[in-house]
Amino acid sequence: MVTISVAGAPARQADARAILSAFGLSLGGSTSGVAAGGRFVPEPGGPIVETFDPSTGDVLAGVRCAGQPDYEAAVAAAQAAFARWRQVPAPRRGEIVRALGDAFRARKEDLARLVSLENGKILGEARGEVQEVID
């Protein structure tokens, strides 16, 4: 990997650290990107995919992907969850979806800052993207 140096990079790294820390992540660290059965798999067996700051080329973080056994467990858990979910009455499902929207709304600014950092978007555009998820 080539790291590009730019004026103000220490300030950019400080911003990146603050943005990532809002999600319990560390700059240059890695986290699981695999969830099954309502939990993240702590050590999935797939490769680590790095994400980069488009303004500096620096690694922001790594996401550990699923290996074949992780994938199979996630599919089985999703099938079981769907069987339970379809038995939930529609009004209750609506309440759950509304609660998800509320959770996104409560973290809207943090999420927008993360989208901006990772995608190089201006903050206003990132806010709009998060609002689309909420809507």
- What pLDDT is recorded for position 114? 96
pLDDT digits (tens, 9 = 90+) for 45-94: 999 999 999 988 899 999 999 999 999 999 999 999 999 999 999 999 99
Alpha-carbon distances, residue 24 vs 11, 18, 94, 106, 116 (angstroms)? 20, 10, 29, 16, 18
- What pLDDT is recorded for position 55? 87
Closest CA to 30 of 16, 15, 43, 18: 43
pLDDT digits (tens, 9 = 90+) for 90-121: 999 999 999 999 999 999 999 999 999 999 99
Confirm if 51 and 19 have CB atoms less than 8 A apart. Answer: no
- H-run or E-run covering 31: strand 30-32
Q: Measured in whole angstroms, how far is the alpha carbon of residue 16 from the centre of its chain? A: 14
Six-digit token string for 130: 């998060």
